[in-house]
Structure 1
Amino acid sequence: MDLNLSAVTRPVERLMATAQNGFEVLRLGGLETGAVPSPFQIVESKPMYKLRRYFPPDSRPGQRPAGPPVLMVHPMMMSANMWDVTREDGAVGILHEAGIDPWVIDFGSPDEVEGGMERNLTDHIVALNEAIDTVRDTTGQSVHLAGYSQGGMFCYQTAAYRRTKDIASIIAFGSPVDTLAALPMGIPPNIGAVAADFMADHVFNRIDVPGWLARTGFQMLDPLKTAKARLDFLLQLHDRDALLPREQQRRFLDSEGWIAWSGPAVSELLKQFISHNRMMSGGFNINGQLVTLSDITCPVLAFVGEVDDIGQPASVRGIKRAAPGADVYEVMIRAGHFGLVVGSKAATATWPTVADWVRWLAGQDSRPAAIAPMQDSDAEPDESGVALSARLMHGVAEASEVAWSLARGAAGAVVNTRKSMRTLAVETARTLPRLTRLGQINDHTRISLGRIIDEQADGAPNGEFLLYDGRVHTYEAVNRRINNVVRGLISVGVRQGVRVGVLMDTRPSALVAIAALSRLGAVAVLMPPDADLAEAIRIGGVSEVITDPGNLDAARQLPVQVLVLGGGETRDLNLPGDSNVVDMEKIDPDAVALPGWYRANPGFARDLAFVAFNTVGGALVPKQITNYRWALSAFGTASAAALGRGDTVYCLTPLHHQSGLLVSLGGAVVGGTRIALSRGLHPDRFLTEIRQYGVTVVSYTWTMLRSVVDDPDFRLRGNHPVRLFIGSGMPPGLWQRTVDAFSPANVVEFFATTDGQAVLANVAGAKIGSKGRPLPGGGQVELAAYDAEDDLILEDDRGFVTVAEPNEVGVLLARPWGPIDPTASVKRGVFAPGDTWISTEYVFRRDADGDFWLLGNRPLLIRTERGVVFPESVTDAVGRINAVDLAATYSVEGADGVVAVTAITLRDGMAVTTADLTDAFASMPVGLAPDVVHVVPEMPLSATFRPTVSALRADGIPKASRNAWHLEPDTGKYKRLTAAARAQLCGTDDSSGAEN
């Protein structure tokens, strides 16, 4: 009877309990637990944040002294109460019991604060920076920063911003660093970056994220776990005792824990730290200051969730490479994202470990067993994250323990297959519009530097453009400055078509001056400060000179009006009574009325835009650069280097040099990337700035990078952001050393004629030393068969020029497109009746794959009694010897005619043998080896780091020595150059060159 009664009453009791508890949940949002929050004191209250100190010390007798302070940082979309969800098992309670002094920064709910929805990431970092100072001043101790998810990112960023000052350590829980290494839901990095960029520019610049949407988005990342938790809650709704221990956590995740997220902050997060991944590359912008995680030097402890799909292990472990100066440790916990900081595992594993970490760093205990040094990881991004299959396995295993091993294998196969496909698709989408626009340029196309900057400023006014001295300037700010300088130029009488000299060091004002002249339609004559300025004025046809205060004294000596621009607000030009000097900074642009003739950016492709100078034989030679020529290099560079908004181009060459103007500045402007201007090439500054600026692309000329990679103090620890070096003239040996030092970075080597009609690019970088292939979208080139012995271009029986076969010598011809330089060597009826080609006068060979290899300039080929020596081929061959630093090949007069000589410098502590030389030259596909090879103590270099031979040639045939060799024509081998052998080459009996 009792059994029957029990069978009836128990379901009824269960139903009644379910209804009662359910009604309480509906009315109050949850079950009443009687939990009391941990006590805290508001130490500091500002509109941006409140600073809480939990369990604040008082003056009671026996009160234990406060321990090391830990300042905890919540993510923007989650309430600061996350650190105290339950008093017994929450972070602040456990840390307090362990003798730690817990502090919490509370950013509040921005939708409840005036101006809160205008907050950006910088506001949060500046606020945290202030809070650290307060904690330090209050406690007298350095601060341990602890951040969950994005809060951990704030900790990293703020520590870097303040260069780790007063920070004892950083503790991060599931905080992504290399965000593109492993995106949630298995999103491919390229697609994720593009999507993040789009959302930042077109969605979150207009809308904010309310708290309910933040909660929903978080739950959707793991829908199975969310559904299981809700089902478990419903199934146990009758059992209050079973629900109460986890009720506080459930209520926090279901409703109370989520706050609004301002659109500007979301937009900045997506752009800087997901799309551009600048926590890894460096160069993120905080209050106009450029910051890099490589400035973090304090210890770091990263908690890694094995099944964390938001802060995936590969992404979290990026801190090891991003902060090479820090000692980085990790703790691996079998938990998801939120489980790292709240819940049973957090209470039993996470927070006791944090307390042990703090005590260890304070010297109070040994290193905890759970903490291990983080190891370097070279895993491919797609293979290093929490795979979608693994995440599904974890969620489903909690519900039903179903095995999903087949799904894991299938997902991995899909990942591997899609890599090359998505990379190709993204790069094609990026470069195709540029190549299309380049192909549409003709004489009457309006194109110029000023116009492109205008377009970029209109499309992305807040886009970061110019980096200098650790500061960042947006496209809108630079564009506004350009327009103001245009008004200043108009006020002093500069008009369209006028030639104006630019005598300035590489600095933002120089870029602005050049761009302003372009926008006005004037011609910028780029004057090297170390050149004969009076001669540059004369041959450049200059009527005015724009200068900066540093070059003012030199400019004053010139017979033209001097316009002074830039130099900072505290400058003193001391210009009393000097009517020939105009201080441009004192001109009010708003007071200048634009004349009727003024049209912004009037330049056509055919119009002369710039005049640069080369030094040939000690004399200045002007090089005229049209807007077309500039556009060709700019679009070509942006396409070949696949430049995008996430890139930063490092301009090492001065802006008055063609490489700085055409490649660095041109490529950056067309690509919409950031350009970092350098004060000059110094190895220590180079490594500092590539991290500080987040440099992804470095421009170079000739041997420029030698002073970096061969510097005895060169040490490249940890991660670096560089992916490409772009330029021209890099010797093969230096090329190899550069890619070895900066692996996995690549080199894109360009070859371009002065008029821009022929452009080659070695984009793949696989064949070191090759000039590559014609640039897609550029002009057509062909290789005319060439008899180097008789200096003749070969023709067929019909009189048309013969095309060189693979590995045959040929002269490079270009099919003209765009304006033709009047001095160009134009040929007609070359391959077909009436066709027109331009001879570049450069000699190449083309291998079986279609790649071009430079052999030399046609007039400078060395014709000896033995035959023709191709100087570039020889120099490349000897430069591949590991011991050789630099090389140059030139001709001198000998007893029996011309003698081919190669000069080399050696790397420190290395030597070259006769066997090295013999083997190196035997591998040349075409041409002869040099007659003499000798070691020189130093290779003369031009201002652009190009080896020069005029001084070497003047010394004649080298003297006999242990470091000089001559070729024995009969054997094809090299022997030591003796006095007798030298005398035979010289045709004298002079023994003054006796071997030393």
Structure 2
Amino acid sequence: MSHNQKSDLIGFAEVAAKIPKFMSKLPHLVTGLKQAYLRTSNSPAGLGIAFENAVKRNPQGCALKYEDQQFSYKELNDWANQIGHFYLSIGANKGDVVALMMENRPELIATVLGLAKIGVTIALVNTSQVGKVLAHSINLVKPIAVITGAECCASVDEIRDELEITENRFHWFADQETLKDAGEAPNGFINLAEKIENFPKFNTPTTQSVQGKNGLFYIYTSGTTGLPKAVIFTNSRWTLAYGTYGHVIDLKPNDVMYCTLPLYHATGIVVCWCGVIASSATLAIRRKYSTSSFWKDVKKFDASAIGYVGELCRYLMDAPESELEQGHRVTKMIGNGMRPNIWDKFKARFGIEEVLELYASSEGNVGFSNVFNFDNTVGFSPTPYAVIQYDKEKNEPVHDKNGWCIRVKKGEVGLLIGKITRRSPFDGYTDPEKNKTVIMTNVLKKGDAYFNTGDLVRDIGFRHAQFIDRLGDTFRWKGENVSTTQVENILSDYEKITAAVVYGVEIPNTNGRAGMAAITLHDDVKLDTQDLSNMYSEFKKSLPAYAVPLFLRIQVTVETTGTFKYQKSKLKEQGFDITQTDEKILVLLPGANAYCELTTEIYNNIQSYKYRF
């Protein structure tokens, strides 16, 4: 164990030193924990109820800011009610699903709220998806309607013939940047703003009938079979997040949470918004993240808290220093993925006092939150879990002579598993077979059951952990989970490629792992100059930008039999280090629209951070 790892271990003295500051937020936290843990699957629960309570507390307070627009709690609630009443009028019932594909803007927030109030499950479609991946994601959840923003309309229109949705259920919201076209929905789409105009603004009668067990969101994660999996996020889970993360951040009604994270991910739509609703504070959103506009927006919105993922922190640290990054109100941030080597520097440079790092997964049943504000930790978990020894070579947990898994000692790294109980259930995926693969039974004693997170963490004491790495066939890049199998399938569709093995590799000074593929070509075929641009063009048509591999390694053969796992492990270990292989490696440099050969000069420039991936 290194000196830094030892210094990160938490003991009684460290916890005691944090208690005075912690006590100031305790009353608010206790209120949240009561709501989180006194719920049952049949209790009225969820986003709709919590928001209506926030409206009662602060009706004229600002609920939402976007560009030059702002909405009070009453105004946003009225708008959401019109959407809810409209969907009730066309026969939407509790338990139905509506797919929503829209970039961050007020229409998305109002739509989510309106549908939540009537018990409809909202499928939050990743706005980067296109083609067959998009068609799969929508059809997977069997929606009764799809709502698309004008900015995503072309992607939906391209695959509409593949969607199992009635023709008159393609609903459309105008793009804020082209409101002059607000009344002109494209052919085959219905203007939702026009449809809801004459519907009532009073609360829908259904809110209190929404129970904890009812679905609130479908959130998509990478699937090991190659296509996205839809994870059910129930109102009960939302209430748990609201009671914990929402109250840990301890906002006040005059606070403003600035969120540039995509709202089809739980960190934005759940974690950031929970904290705002819990305090009747303000959510400020931006369409897409922008480094150059970040601190300008903070000043414009008078933000006092920010939502983050690791990539966002790196981008801000890489940017030139600016007067705007000081003299603001931001003292708190909540999110995940802050790298230990920039944690202290980030706080010092931008005047941050609390980094509320958290750990959770859309499908999982275990969560951590940095409630005591320690550095370099995902925080404390009140939910039952274990960290068990794991053999990375064999790709399986270590067992003792009696067949039980073994807990790691303090300071050691192991596999994080969440105990499945009535209070911390596993809600799971839409695919029952996928559920079976992630549930472990008879782990530490007979009859127990745990959710396998697939993540390695370090036990640092006092129920705190550090995130170390992700196992399995997904990796994280640009704040998104990438399915290796999905990328392998798309790459293998290219006419000259017969097989592909995809994995994540680390680039110095970046977060997560960038995509790399070892590809094998058909016999007697070579890649020419045209292929270098054609491959990128073809990959981009079927994959979101973050999933397009940055490195291609051209192999003579790819092992797919018994030694396949070892081979993949070896490929990951060698990465794009040209000194470790005689095989040609191609790279997609930032801003390029074609691959080029990875030379010694380019390799050295990557190592010295001359490219911003």
Same fold (TM over 0.5): yes
1:666 is displaced (CA, Å) by 2.7
Alignment-derived partner of residue 147 in structure 2: 546
Alignment-derived partner of residue 96 in structure 2: 498
Q: Select which of 662, 667, 673 maps to 2:270.
A: 662
How far apart, CA to CA, are the structure 1 residues paired with 2:514 and 2:302? Answer: 38
1:566-623 Cα shifts (integer Å, max 9, x gaps): 667964455599675244434454579999xx62343222222212234568744333
Alignment-derived partner of residue 416 in structure 2: 812
1:420 is displaced (CA, Å) by 8.1
Alignment-derived partner of residue 800 in structure 1: 404
Alignment-derived partner of residue 516 in structure 1: 114
How far apart, CA to CA, are the structure 2 residues paired with 1:682 and 1:740? Answer: 22
1:339-369 Cα shifts (integer Å, max 9, x gaps): xxxxxxxxxxxxxxxxxxxxxxxxxxxxxxx
- The number of equivalent residue pairs is 488
Contact 2:101 2:126 in 1 (8 A): yes
Alignment-derived partner of residue 445 in structure 1: 43
How far apart, CA to CA, are the structure 2 residues paired with 1:702 and 1:421? Answer: 27
Instruction: Point out which structure has higher relative CO (alpha carbons under 8 A, 6+ apart).
Output: 2
Contact 1:701 1:945 in 2 (8 A): no
Structure with bigger gyration radius = 1
Alignment-derived partner of residue 375 in structure 1: none
How far apart, CA to CA, are the structure 1 residues paired with 2:518 and 2:185? Answer: 59
Contact 1:549 1:564 in 2 (8 A): yes
1:890 is displaced (CA, Å) by 8.4
Alignment-derived partner of residue 138 in structure 2: 537
1:553 is displaced (CA, Å) by 5.2
User: Following superposition of structure 1 onto structure 2, how do residues 603-622 of structure 1 map, counting pairs within 5 Å?
Assistant: 603-614=210-221, 619-622=227-230
Q: Select which of 26, 34, 39 maps to 1:436.
A: 34
**1:847 match: secondary structure:** strand
**1:820 match: secondary structure:** coil
User: Following superposition of structure 1 onto structure 2, how do residues 337-348 of structure 1 map, counting pairs within 5 Å?
Assistant: none
1:833-865 Cα shifts (integer Å, max 9, x gaps): 333322223222213565323333343699xxx
Alignment-derived partner of residue 645 in structure 1: 253
Alignment-derived partner of residue 757 in structure 1: 365
* Change in 2 beyond 3 A, CA 1:985/1:788: farther
1:741-767 Cα shifts (integer Å, max 9, x gaps): 212433222221332311122344543
**2:86 match: secondary structure:** helix
* Change in 2 beyond 3 A, CA 1:786/1:585: same
Q: Select which of 704, 709, 714 maps to 2:312.
A: 704
Task: Tell me if 1:832 matches 2:445.
Answer: yes
* Change in 2 beyond 3 A, CA 1:947/1:728: farther
Alignment-derived partner of residue 488 in structure 2: none
Contact 1:733 1:885 in 2 (8 A): no
Q: Select which of 187, 194, 206 maps to 1:585.
A: 194
How far apart, CA to CA, are the structure 1 residues paired with 2:333 and 2:216? Answer: 27
1:181-233 Cα shifts (integer Å, max 9, x gaps): xxxxxxxxxxxxxxxxxxxxxxxxxxxxxxxxxxxxxxxxxxxxxxxxxxxxx
Q: Select which of 165, 170, 177 maps to 1:562.
A: 170
How far apart, CA to CA, are the structure 2 residues paired with 1:566 and 1:420? Answer: 49
When the two structures are superposed, what TM-score results if normalisation uses the length of structure 1?
Answer: 0.44
**2:311 match: secondary structure:** coil
Structure 2: runs of 5+ lacking an equivalent: 1-16, 476-502, 520-538, 557-573, 586-596, 602-613
Query: What root-mean-square deviation, in Å, do the aligned CA atoms of Structure 1 and Structure 2 show?
Result: 4.2
How far apart, CA to CA, are the structure 1 residues paired with 2:230 and 2:392? Answer: 30
How far apart, CA to CA, are the structure 1 residues paired with 2:512 and 2:470? Answer: 17
Letter in 1 for 2:135: A
1:510 is displaced (CA, Å) by 1.1
1:511 is displaced (CA, Å) by 0.4
Q: Select which of 829, 843, 847 maps to 2:456.
A: 843
1:490 is displaced (CA, Å) by 2.1
Task: Tell me if 1:626 matches 2:234.
Answer: yes
Task: Tell me if 1:952 matches 2:565.
Answer: no
User: Following superposition of structure 1 onto structure 2, how do residues 16-415 of structure 1 map, counting pairs within 5 Å?
Assistant: none
How far apart, CA to CA, are the structure 2 residues paired with 1:756 and 1:700? Answer: 20
* Change in 2 beyond 3 A, CA 1:820/1:600: closer
Alignment-derived partner of residue 198 in structure 1: none
**1:467 match: secondary structure:** strand
Letter in 2 for 1:803: R
**1:457 match: secondary structure:** helix
How far apart, CA to CA, are the structure 2 residues paired with 1:949 and 1:453? Answer: 39
Task: Tell me if 1:772 matches 2:371.
Answer: no
* Change in 2 beyond 3 A, CA 1:949/1:752: farther
* Change in 2 beyond 3 A, CA 1:956/1:703: farther
1:435 is displaced (CA, Å) by 1.3
**2:347 match: secondary structure:** helix
Contact 1:702 1:946 in 2 (8 A): no
User: Following superposition of structure 1 onto structure 2, how do residues 885-896 of structure 1 map, counting pairs within 5 Å?
Assistant: 885=510, 888=513
**1:811 match: secondary structure:** strand
Contact 2:366 2:418 in 1 (8 A): yes
Contact 1:549 1:566 in 2 (8 A): yes
How far apart, CA to CA, are the structure 1 residues paired with 2:515 and 2:199? Answer: 58
* Change in 2 beyond 3 A, CA 1:785/1:861: farther
How far apart, CA to CA, are the structure 1 residues paired with 2:199 and 2:362? Answer: 40
Structure 1: runs of 5+ lacking an equivalent: 1-418, 863-870, 895-939, 958-973, 987-991
How far apart, CA to CA, are the structure 1 residues paired with 2:186 and 2:342? Answer: 53
* Change in 2 beyond 3 A, CA 1:455/1:827: same
Contact 2:129 2:544 in 1 (8 A): no
How far apart, CA to CA, are the structure 2 residues paired with 1:762 and 1:944? Answer: 34
Contact 2:426 2:451 in 1 (8 A): no
1:475 is displaced (CA, Å) by 1.3
How far apart, CA to CA, are the structure 2 residues paired with 1:520 and 1:854? Answer: 37
1:486 is displaced (CA, Å) by 1.2
How far apart, CA to CA, are the structure 2 residues paired with 1:845 and 1:746? Answer: 22
Letter in 2 for 1:802: I
Alignment-derived partner of residue 786 in structure 1: 390
* Change in 2 beyond 3 A, CA 1:425/1:767: closer
Alignment-derived partner of residue 855 in structure 1: 468
**2:389 match: secondary structure:** strand
* Change in 2 beyond 3 A, CA 1:583/1:754: closer
* Change in 2 beyond 3 A, CA 1:751/1:984: same
**1:454 match: secondary structure:** helix
1:13-44 Cα shifts (integer Å, max 9, x gaps): xxxxxxxxxxxxxxxxxxxxxxxxxxxxxxxx
Runs of 4+ residues deviating >6 angstroms: 419-422, 591-595, 889-894, 943-949
